[in-house]
Amino acid sequence: MADKVICITSGKGGVGKSTVTANVATALAMKGYKVAAIDADIGLRNLDLVLGLENRIVYDLVHVVEGVVPAEKALVKDKRTKNLYLLPAAQTKDKSAVKPEDLIRVVEELRDKFDFIFIDSPAGIEEGFKTAVAPADTIIVIANPEMASIRDADRVVGLCEAMQKPEPKLVINKIDPAKVARGDMLDVDDVTQILSLDLLGVVPEDKNMVAYINRGEPAVLFPESIAGRALRNVAERLLGKEIPFMELKVQESFLDKLKKLFGSD
């Protein structure tokens, strides 16, 4: 697989980059692929928390860059999925501690040992973003269906073009069919039309996602999770499979069911 180094970015914080990274990496590892996930958000690491690995970190990305240990020595093996490894970000350094050429070198050190390498980019479009996308074969932009997120995602697309990187693919995260139906949220067609990117996934709002993150358990581990199912589909599409997008329906409320039952308007 040529496109094995995948950077997940957004431009805006809080859209779910780390969650998507953890879940898609886990989904591919569950299928038997050997996967490394690199947290490039120096000083603000979160990927270890989403994966439930925060208590097992000894070395981090800055230790590797500074030559304290080789990259393989700093990898933390996932507790549940034997093929998944995390290279955590440093918690006490700033983004200037890792330059684009440093991350390229680290990725090249790992490239032949893994089927996929994911890079979780820091929010924003400054130095940390440029470092994170530097080694990437594929870039995935995460956007929420709101104008601020879409505008920031569009800025990322322009920067990728200026850096002569491949055009990003798009994952729309946290879409709520009820809000879309009420006109309170942009729908999938609105977002794809504005950004004009290939759509890789649509992840619906999942009421259990906060609990999964707090427990350090990716949603893809739970067959009943609607977000987990959508994120497993993203992994399948990265493998080149043609998977139809989920039909997002408004869930009927208990009150609506009562009205129907008693014939009330």
> Which position has the token pair 């981090």?
60
**Residue 192 annotated as part of some ligand binding site:** no
The residues that bridge with 138 in the sheet, in sequence order, are 6
Band (pLDDT 50/70/90 cuts) for residue 263 is low
Helix (H, G, I), strand (E, B) or coil at 8: strand
- 261-to-63, 92, 255, 264 alpha-carbon distances in Å: 63, 58, 10, 8
- Domain around 238: 5-262
**Residue 156 annotated as part of some ligand binding site:** no
CA distance 171 to 144: 9
**Residue 14 annotated as part of some ligand binding site:** yes
- Contact between 29 and 162 under an 8 Å Cβ cutoff? The reply is no
- Contact between 60 and 88 under an 8 Å Cβ cutoff? The reply is yes
Q: What is the pLDDT of residues 189-247, one digit of tens each?
A: 999 999 999 999 999 999 999 999 999 999 999 999 999 999 999 999 999 999 998 88
Higher-confidence position of 104 and 255: 104
**Residue 13 annotated as part of some ligand binding site:** yes
pLDDT at 13: 81
* Residue 255, pLDDT above cutoff 90: no
* Residue 130, pLDDT above cutoff 70: yes
CA distance 125 to 161: 13
What CATH number is attached to the domain comprising 206? 3.40.50.300
**Residue 234 annotated as part of some ligand binding site:** no
Q: What is the pLDDT of residues 141-189, one digit of tens each?
A: 999 999 999 999 999 999 999 999 999 999 999 999 999 999 999 999 9
pLDDT at 259: 53
CA distance 56 to 44: 17
**Residue 17 annotated as part of some ligand binding site:** yes
Band (pLDDT 50/70/90 cuts) for residue 264 is low
**Residue 10 annotated as part of some ligand binding site:** no
Closest CA to 22 of 57, 55, 46: 46
What size, in residues, is the chain? 265
**Residue 96 annotated as part of some ligand binding site:** no
Total of domains in the chain: 1
Half-sphere exposure of 84 (CA within 13 A, CB side): 24
Determine the longest span between alpha carbons in the chain, in angstroms. Answer: 72
